[in-house]
Amino acid sequence: MNRILIKNAKIVNEGTIFEGDVLIENDLIVEIADSISLKTSDCIVIDAEGNYLMPGAIDDQVHFREPGLTHKGDIESESRAAVAGGITSFIEQPNTVPNAVTQEILEDKYQIASQKSFANYSFMMGATNDNLEEVLKTNPKNVAGIKIFLGSSTGNMLVDNEAVLEKIFSSTPMLIAVHCEDETTIKNNLAAFKEQYGDDVPVTAHNLIRSAEACYISSSKAVALAKRTGARLHIFHLSTAKEMELFTNKIPLEEKKITAEVCVHHLWFTDEDYKTKGNFIKWNPAVKTADDRAELWKALNDGRIDVIATDHAPHTKEEKMQSYLNAPSGGPLVQHAVVAMFEAHHQGKISVEKIVEKMCHNPAKLFKIEKRGFIREGYHADLVIVNPSLPWSVKPENILYKCGWSPFEGYTFKSRITHTFVNGELVYNNFKVKDTRAGKRLLFDR
């Protein structure tokens, strides 16, 4: 029997922080108490030394690029970076190559992950204008949900047929996650900038091309459609102040039919950063203004936004260093997301309890993930120890992403992940990832 006793931790769970010990047996948490005494011969003892012990973070939106785009990243490399960053479970998106728009292709991704993943995994089923039959075959017990791109993406994944959208929303009981940007608005904005600049459109125009208006038009339509059909809707990577009026904090998360996510980059950067970071902070939806960022923080803290995620989407440096119009959108974030939120805590923007609520508890509740996202007896031992005062700088030699770069490069974080457990296995320790692929397929209570 594999037994690990974590001593002297500040346990962060369900809105409280308390000092105590946690006992792990095999893959489960079996005891949580003020003090647990066992012979050292009976278990491995890890002294948390008064540092925070939190559930492993659950990232509900990543792009790990496998199959088909593995020069940018793959399930092995990016899940390794995730566990180093305190993310123990991820939900990956369908715009790989080929797109995961049939049950067979979707299952192929699960097979790859079962061999390669350091973290627990699930994969979204992709919707298109013509695969409703395949979408409806999706098993709600072992697939996270259905992903719809209402803005352009890799491959044939833009769903712009109103009748098809209506059918998907009204016929699937599963959670529908959407990327919301209005394609017509973006095309018109881009045409105007091309008329002014030709092929030399500056990256500083990105948030004006993929504008707040484009986001709001699309997300408000999605919310209206969900209300009309009764669909279970989750809107990914919200980026504007205006969109915050679409969401409520008046009812508990468990009762919400429409939920909201914000990503680390929209909480961290603003349009001013395009001048120094350029294409390396080019994301879709675009990073917007300081006022937008301030309202996102407000909505996150007051409960209108339910989840913090990454939209981790690596591209090579060479791809990013092309001209604005040719450089792809997206960037790597899983290794630095949790410590970035602890940095925001040091800045007085969010409590540690709220970080755990938004990165651990709420993704588990929202997707109804079985026995994860909390520190509870009988739950899977996905756990992370965070030292809040162990500064470290992001440098090329400690970046684990296959693409080899980070938008945080050169930044010194005040907090550091010291230990990560996945299903009771210590997969990250002494700032090194062990060669232990402990990830399991996520299951769902539905």
Q: Which residues are catalytic?
A: 311
Q: Quick one: how far is CA 255 from the chain centroid?
A: 22
In angstroms, what is the C-alpha Rg of the chain?
Answer: 21
d(CA 110, CA 100): 11
d(CA 303, CA 358): 9
